[in-house]
Amino acid sequence: PSTGWFARQPAPLRRQLLDGAVDVHFADGDWIYGATEKAGGFFCVLDGGIRLYAATSHGETVLIDLVGPGRWFGQAGVLRDGQRLVTAIADGPVQALLIPRNAIVQLIRQSPQFIDSIMQLDAVHFQYMTRVVSEVLTLAPRERIAGRLYALSDRVAPEAGRWRFSLTQADLAEMVGVERKTVNRVLAAFEKQGLVKRSYGAIELLDRTALAHIRDTASK
């Protein structure tokens, strides 16, 4: 966890966080936590990926986000001993750090400014999801798909300048609110332009800058 939110924390606070962390492992499909469960801590992905699901008013679950190595998740509710907002499931074998709530309470006693750190992490996630929702509500399908792929690239670590997601076209259709055939058509065009590469159960970004340009130049 050497980048992003963690890297911006003071060195003593980073050491205290790691001192209180527990190394945890999950198998593919393992239930990490569920919506409405008590928030018993938060996590940083070291290896593998996490899928986050939200419940609809009809009792169905929809995929809303992916979390990859170096990214933190699950902090919502830990300060107030509240409930989880989403369900987290392992996508393949996962190694992660868990900061248990008792360690969080102890850390706050030692360093009260840690409350501000958690609020910063909350703000980062809120800003990210606000952008995602606004794009779903306002952009046409092509621009919406480009924007969602770009946003997901901030949630996983790049490898050799490329971002690879364990994501089917049906998954992406669910995340952006369009039909699968629309996703297939748009991705085929992006692939022809050299922006993405499709493979079985995965999508790889080759030119995220171009995807951001498509998103940002959407017709009014």
Total length of the chain: 220
Strands across the sheet containing 202-205? 163-165, 202-205, 196-199
CATH match of 139-216 with 1.20.1250.20: no
* Least confident piece of the model among 22-26, 50-54, 60-64: 60-64
* Least confident piece of the model among 82-86, 159-163, 189-193, 216-220: 216-220
Report helix, strand and coil shares of the chain as percent, to nearest 5: 40, 30, 30
Contact 113, 39 (CB under 8 A): no
Provide the CATH topology of domain 4-116: Jelly Rolls (2.60.120)
- Domains in the chain: boundaries: 4-116, 139-216
The 10s digit of each residue's pLDDT in 172-215 is 999 999 999 999 999 999 999 999 999 999 999 999 999 999 99
What residues contact 68, with CB distance under 8 A and at least 6 apart?
A: 45, 49, 50, 155, 156, 157
For residue 28, report the phi and psi dihedrals to the nearest 5 degrees: -55, 130
**Matching fold, domains 4-116 and 139-216:** no
pTM above 0.85, yes or no: yes
